[in-house]
Structure 1
Amino acid sequence: MDTAALLTQCDRLAALAGRRLTLGTANPAAEARARQLRDHLDGFVRPRVADIDAPLLVLILGPTGAGKSSLLNTIAGAEVSKAGVLRPTTKDAVVYASESDAQRILASGRLGAIAKDRLRLAAAPASADGVAVIDAPDIDSVERDNRELADVLVEISDLCVFVTTATRYADLVPWEVLRRVRERGLPLVVVLNRVPAEEEDRAAVVADARRLFAEAGGRGAKEATELIAIDEGDVDPSVSGLARDKARPLLDRIARLAAEADERRAVAAQALAGALRGLAPLAHSIADDLEH
């Protein structure tokens, strides 16, 4: 990877996005594409090209009430993100990271597109060095600012953990956001929450969800999306979280990433490769916008 050449190309693409953004809001969709490219370059591509070994950003994403905050609490083993019936419970980006990782991430500029009052840091132990987990606002929030913040977080992350439920996994809005996750080649893990405990119903729901996610991956998908099913009622009230034994595959993966620099580098490289592949179509769309 020629770092200098990639950074030069990033500068050219950023200039393209900047030109479109100076034209104002006559075409909101075109402006949104330019803003998306700018946020993606500044929040992910540039910093990741400059430092492939920087901490991974693992994004917890999903619709209202799916259990995103509960999952972060499970990962932390403590209530670090408020979970409850009031919607939306998460209005800011909750960043669970060790002190050294938090300092490194803030210094890198990856969170630069997010207002400081929309960031909340939750302290992780030093043993979590190398992996920061972010709880995003609802992607289908009734509040526009929350949806826009979730969109920005998609652009800056290395791995997406998409949390949905047995009754919500086919909803339209989440799939529109997942389309962008696929476009930028972001590694994806799906947590299917509140699955019926009855064996036949459980099997049917999990099979249908796997089918939909496989179809969403398209013909170019190299591997099946990892799907973790958690049954209805599998919770840990002591931390306002999900049952740790049911979330074990994800917990183990995060622990391995924290422990193994080579595994972190592989995920970062996969996310960067996907991001680079996705730059050309987005840049071409913006160039077309400038011509019309």
Structure 2
Amino acid sequence: MDAPLLMVVGGSTGAGKSTLVNSLLGREVTPPGVLRPTTRAPVLACHPADQRWFEGDRVLPGLARTIGGPAGPGGLQLVPTDALPAGLALLDSPDIDSVEEVNRDLSRQLLSAADAWLFVTTAARYADAVPWELLHVARDRGTALSLVLDRTPPDAIDDVSRHLMQMLSDRGLGTTELLVVPEAELEGGFLPQSALAPVASWLD
């Protein structure tokens, strides 16, 4: 049996990746908002049938596993969930531009272990330099790339998407899948299904 595909969800501080992961799973498994930059432990969600692949040190060695609660520094929280199909694991990574060096280093370590990278940015921050550096690193490693344009004002979706696609093309990343999540009010801390639909449908 083949190992599940490991998709790392990465992005800058405040991009909304933890909210995106929580919304996809339908429960809060990773702290969003201002708590996130100080959280060193990544969170890996997978189908219960795939849990065994991540309990040992074949994947992400050196990170102590925790199930059923948050992991401490240097750890990895495993979250088995039926919200994901068997064969796919989502890993919420620390912020790539965290104020803490250990977080930045860990995010790069996780990127190197990923089969695919789902990078989350926003309409206000997609031109920042650091993400583009890592997108090129992922491309050069042969990591499959997808980009979530989060919290995009509905009236700006066409213009921002067009500009971002042009930037991707100009930088040799034109095959990157672009998924646009429109700006929307959270419902109980989660994105409404209408806003989440582009990413949820793509993962299915």
TM superposition score category, shorter chain reference: 0.7 to 0.9
Does residue 1:59 correspond to 2:16, yes or no?
no
Counterpart mapping for 1:61-210 below 5 A: 61-88=10-37, 90-107=39-56, 109-116=58-65, 117-125=74-82, 128-198=85-155, 201-210=156-165
> 2:5, 2:115 within 8 Å by CA — same for their partners in 1?
yes
CA RMSD in angstroms, aligned pairs only = 2.1
Identity %: 39
Larger Rg: 1
Aligned residue pairs, count: 196
Q: Which residue of 2 aligns with 1:228?
A: 179
Matching residue within 213, 216, 221 for 2:168: 213
Residues 104 and 188 of structure 1, relative CA distance in 2, 3 Å threshold = same
Q: Distance in 1 between matches of 2:107 and 2:142?
A: 17
Who is 1:45 aligned against? Answer: none
Larger proportion of strand: 2
Superposed displacement of residue 123, structure 1: 2.3
CA contact (8 A) 2:36 2:94 kept: no
Question: Conserved in 2, the CA contact under 8 Å of 1:93 and 1:135?
Answer: yes
Structure 1 distance, partners of 2:48, 2:178, is: 31
Q: Distance in 1 between matches of 2:56 and 2:36?
A: 32
> CA 1:127–1:133 in 2, change beyond 3 Å: closer, same or farther?
closer
Measured in 2, the distance between the counterparts of 1:78 and 1:119 equals: 18
- In structure 2, the residue matched to 1:245 is 194
| CA apart distance, 1:89 | 5.8
Q: Which has the higher helix share?
A: 1
Quick one: distance in 1 between partners of 2:33 and 2:99? 17
Shift of residue 127, structure 1, vs aligned partner: 6.1
Displacement of 1:216? 2.2
Report the AA paired with residue 8 of structure 2.
L
Residue 157 (structure 1) shift: 0.9
Q: Say if 2:25 and 2:84, in contact at 8 Å, map to a contact too.
A: no
Task: Say if 1:100 and 1:89 are closer, same or farther in 2 by CA, change over 3 A.
Answer: farther
Kindly provide the amino acid, as one letter, of the partner of residue 226 in structure 1: E
Give the match's secondary structure for 2:125.
coil
**8 A Cα contact 2:53 2:59, kept in partner:** no
Q: Deviations 1:39-84 (Å, cap 9, x if unpaired)? A: xxxxxxxxxxxx7x21111110110000110110121011111112
Contact 1:60 1:133 in 2 (8 A): yes
Contact 1:81 1:90 (C-alpha < 8 Å) held by counterparts: no
| TM-score normalized with structure 2 length | 0.87
Which blocks of at least 5 consecutive residues in structure 2 are unaligned? 66-73
